[in-house]
Structure 1
Amino acid sequence: MNFLGRLRDAARQFKVAIHGYVLMTNHIHLLATPSDVEGLARMMQWVGRHYVPYFNQKYAREGTLWQGRYRATVIDSERYFMLCSCYIDQNPVRAGITSTPGEYPWSSYLHHVGVKPDPLVTDHALYWALGNTPFDREAAYKEMAEQALTSTEAKQLMDATNKGWPLGSEMFKAKLEKQGSARVRPARRGRPFKARPESAEAVAVPATKK
């Protein structure tokens, strides 16, 4: 079974809704909502345990496949969910691999625009809010995804995912900080922070492949 098939099995087993994804040559991005605190970590661990041995055997290699622990950040869904989704689907274009997101088969873009339904993807309520019919939603998403993010927006998303900081308004960050459920500022030395997914609807997860 390929990587996406194993990811789909793990997402179902640990009750993680995956709303968007892209597989790149040296990393992946996921946009997901775990149903509990441990779901996301367990899903990623399960995929590593079951996919890496298969990959190593198929390509006659040894050792780990992923470089370090995955990184995750909590996002303010109302403000940033669609932006994150478009950012993920635009990855191949930003990388210069394709000229449009629709030319790349290993992302959630084709699902979002109605070209190819993807069993891995669970549509988020904010995606459904784009229109009253599938055609309206798909057309609205396509229009958004074809607009390149500004350099400021892209930097915001990259900084948040790379550093594990929440992505949202100051009010959103203050709420998380008060709850003690998210790292809002640079962390002190020590064990990595574990985000509480119930404090926001979505989590963006990048992982790096060796």
Structure 2
Amino acid sequence: MPRQPRMMIPGVPLHVVQRGVNRGAIFVDDVDRHTYMRLLCEACGEQRVAMHAFVLMSNHVHLLLTPGPEPLSLAKAMRVSGQCYVQYFNVRHLRTGTLWQGRYKSCLVDTSPRHVLAVMRYIELNPVRAALVADPAAYRWSSAGHHLGLTTDERLTTHPAYLGLGADRSERGLTYRRWLELGTSADDLDAIRRYAAKERAFGGQRFQAMVAATLGRDSVARNRGRPPIVKGN
């Protein structure tokens, strides 16, 4: 049975997750991380894909990307950068075979500030949840420092949802720090993970209805199990 095409709508960001096969490491050192980011940014630049947030963990990456005007722009950028990185990694580390755990996962993200910022926070708090750092700004391989106003990462395209946090860079950084300090609620944690795994549309009901009408597909990541029994009046 052929796979369904990925959910893609021009101008709508996607939460992208790329994992190592069998949960294996995809980065051995910072040289690998630099190379991955260089290849990814080159491919995104060629395809006019905007990167809003990222984190590189030892065996997986999370990205918040908005595709370019060409329908397959994001898929092309991920395919080219992924293939080039595997070739590089195998040569450098004297290995053969696949590196990625199948296709990367992607889910549409509601463009409302509530949902975009929730996904950004989820991405940038990954190292904190993994107990690698106490402060997300201390983790070098994420976009947290940029959004906290501590560094400037020219690889990133600032999302309008983030710009709405303040009148200038300093105010936005302080507001975003408070947002990070609130942490990701258990409900958001479950929803973001579930929607990414099932590759649906993370957002409000109106957004999900728009996606379903536009793409002619179910946009909701439903919980497992039987639907609840609704008794008649």
Instruction: Find the aligned partners of 1:38 and 1:82 in 2 and give their Cα distance.
Output: 25
5+ unaligned residues in a row in structure 1: which ranges?
188-210
Q: Is the 8 A contact 1:15 1:35 kept in 2?
A: yes
1:71 matched to 2:105:
yes
1:105 matched to 2:140:
yes
TM-score, normalised via structure 1 length: 0.84
Partner-residue secondary structure (3-state), 1:77: coil
Per-residue CA deviations over 1:160-197 (Å, capped at 9, x if unaligned) read 1011110111221112111226541469xxxxxxxxxx
Q: Match of 1:119, as an amino acid? A: E
**Structure 1 residues 144 and 69, CA gap change in structure 2 (3 angstroms):** same
Residue in 2 that maps onto 1:204: none
Instruction: Find the aligned partners of 2:44 and 2:63 in 1 and give their Cα distance.
Output: 11
Per-residue CA deviations over 1:134-176 (Å, capped at 9, x if unaligned) read 1111111111112211111110100010111101112211121
5+ unaligned residues in a row in structure 2: which ranges?
1-33, 223-233
Larger Rg: 2
Tell me by how many angstroms 1:49 deviates. Answer: 2.0
> Which is worse superposed, 113-122 or 156-165?
113-122
Instruction: Find the aligned partners of 2:93 and 2:174 in 1 and give their Cα distance.
Output: 40
Instruction: Find the aligned partners of 2:217 and 2:164 in 1 and give their Cα distance.
Output: 27
Instruction: Find the aligned partners of 1:122 and 1:186 in 2 and give their Cα distance.
Output: 28
Q: Is the 8 A contact 2:195 2:221 kept in 1?
A: no
Tell me by how many angstroms 1:16 deviates. Answer: 0.5
Instruction: Find the aligned partners of 2:83 and 2:102 in 1 and give their Cα distance.
Output: 14
1:22 matched to 2:55:
yes
Partner-residue secondary structure (3-state), 1:74: strand
The partner residue of 2:75 within 18, 41, 50 is 41
**Structure 1 residues 21 and 182, CA gap change in structure 2 (3 angstroms):** farther
Percent of counterpart pairs with the same letter? Answer: 34
1:127 matched to 2:135:
no
TM-score, normalised via structure 2 length: 0.76
Partner-residue secondary structure (3-state), 2:42: helix
The partner residue of 2:64 within 17, 21, 31 is 31
Aligned length: 187
Instruction: Find the aligned partners of 2:138 and 2:54 in 1 and give their Cα distance.
Output: 15
Of structures 1 and 2, the one with the larger relative CO (CA 8 A, separation 6+) is: 1
Partner-residue secondary structure (3-state), 2:97: coil
Per-residue CA deviations over 1:86-141 (Å, capped at 9, x if unaligned) read 11000001111111211210000011112221122110111111111111111111
Instruction: Find the aligned partners of 1:182 and 1:138 in 2 and give their Cα distance.
Output: 38
Residue in 2 that maps onto 1:114: 149
Instruction: Find the aligned partners of 1:181 and 1:133 in 2 and give their Cα distance.
Output: 41
